[in-house]
Amino acid sequence: MIFAGSETIAWTLEWAMLNLLNHPEVLKKVRAEIDTKIGFDRLIDEPDTINLPYLQMIVLETLRFYPVAPTLDPHMPSDDCMLAGYDVPRGSMLLVNIWAMHRDPSIWEDPEMFKPERFENEKQKQKLLSFGIGRRACPGIGLAHRVVSLALGSMVQCFEWQRIGEEYVDSREEPMTLMRPATPLLAMCKARPIVHKILVS
């Protein structure tokens, strides 16, 4: 649980921040959503995240574009079976390349673009495989959504964020079983007035 729930959440958050820095218009839109719905007198809390649909869409789009478990966990059938028309003998190791499925243009419109708005259509969610599917799917899905949304929402609410230079942040992936950015994210941040207000009170 600790292994499966720590780096997955941390790296999803890192990918989400990286995408916000490379898409300032998305960052601006989510900040406006948080400021409008939460105001400037209190910090965002877990129950708020459900009323922040654009924040949720950013989390979903991050999970689509950069699924931290790009081939899920290896699965091994205990009996011979047939899968997608292929005979799979008992004991074979099966890896599911969801990274490729999430970028398949026959499944997603403009798959190479970071576009949270695609999840305005609720049905798109059903195509996400970032947590696997079926009996061995991730049991931490609910917790992961809550923690990532709350952490990301807090970072946006409390700080102004900027890239450290003019150029886009490097979004290449480290080729590992769990996928993080090849270059650890560096960013500039400045506390927003709400931080001073909360600290003083």
User: Which spans of this chain sit near ligand HEM (rule: CB under 6 A)?
Assistant: 1, 4-5, 8-9, 12, 68-69, 72-73, 130-132, 136-140, 143-144, 148
Report CA 173 to chain centroid distance, whole Å. 14
Task: Determine how β-strand 86-88 pairs with β-strand 81-83.
Answer: antiparallel
Residue 84 CB, shortest distance to ligand HEM, in Å, is 15
Assess contact for 64 and 47: CB atoms under 8 A: no
Can you tell me the distance from the alpha carbon of 60 to that of 45, in angstroms, rounded to the nearest whole number?
Answer: 19
Question: Closer to ligand HEM at the Cβ: 57 or 72?
Answer: 72
Residue 115 CB, shortest distance to ligand HEM, in Å, is 20
Can you tell me the distance from the alpha carbon of 112 to that of 102, in angstroms, rounded to the nearest whole number?
Answer: 9
Residue 144 CB, shortest distance to ligand HEM, in Å, is 4
Residue 105 CB, shortest distance to ligand HEM, in Å, is 23
φ and ψ of 104, to 5 deg: -85, 120
Can you tell me the distance from the alpha carbon of 167 to that of 57, in angstroms, rounded to the nearest whole number?
Answer: 25
Question: Closer to ligand HEM at the Cβ: 17 or 69?
Answer: 69
Question: Closer to ligand HEM at the Cβ: 24 or 74?
Answer: 74
Question: Closer to ligand HEM at the Cβ: 132 or 192?
Answer: 132
